[in-house]
Amino acid sequence: MENTAPQLDLFTRLEIAIEERNEAAEAFDVFKQDAVMAHAPAAGADPAVTSEDAADAAAGEVDDFNAEVNALLQGATDAELAGAYEQSGGEVGHPVAEALLGEIKRREGRA
């Protein structure tokens, strides 16, 4: 069966990836804080998953989502970047607008 669902546009895909990256970064901070405050397990007791393990997993997710954002930006055409930036409203501080503008400037600098 053929997938007939419409493809998400660049703006929406970036928005999702950046939000997921931010959530993973927040989780990393929480788990890292828990790991610092956690008591050592009793002798002979070995916890299945520690806050340190969870922090490491969250950090890996941040890296994965950063790679996804970079791949989306680098794989987009100049026209897609410009269209997505226009869709963002170019709002200063908006993470998608900032990422798009950074990629546009990077490409202009290498031309």
Give Cβ neighbours of residue 39 (< 8 Å, ≥ 6 apart): none
The model's confidence at residue 4, banded by pLDDT at 50, 70 and 90, is low
Which pLDDT band holds residue 105 (cuts at 50, 70, 90)?
A: very high
What is the tens place of the pLDDT at every residue in 66-104? 999 999 999 999 999 999 999 999 999 999 999 999 999
Residue 57: other Cβ atoms inside 10 A? 14
Task: Classify 65 as helix, strand or coil.
Answer: helix
Instruction: Write the burial class of residue 59 (CB in 10 Å: 0-12 exposed, 13-18 middle, 19+ buried).
Output: middle
Residue where the block lists tokens 């493809």: 7
Query: Which comes out higher in pLDDT, residue 61 or 3?
Result: 61
* 21-63 per-position pLDDT tens digit: 998 888 877 777 765 555 555 666 665 566 677 778 878 888 9
pLDDT at 59 (0 to 100): 82
Confidence (pLDDT) at 1? 55
Please, which contacts does 100-108 make with residues 24 or more away whose CB atoms are closer than 8 Å?
100/11, 100/14, 100/73, 102/73, 103/73, 103/74, 103/76, 104/78, 107/78, 107/81
* Residue 97 · residue 88 · CB < 8 Å: yes
pLDDT for the residue numbered 9: 93
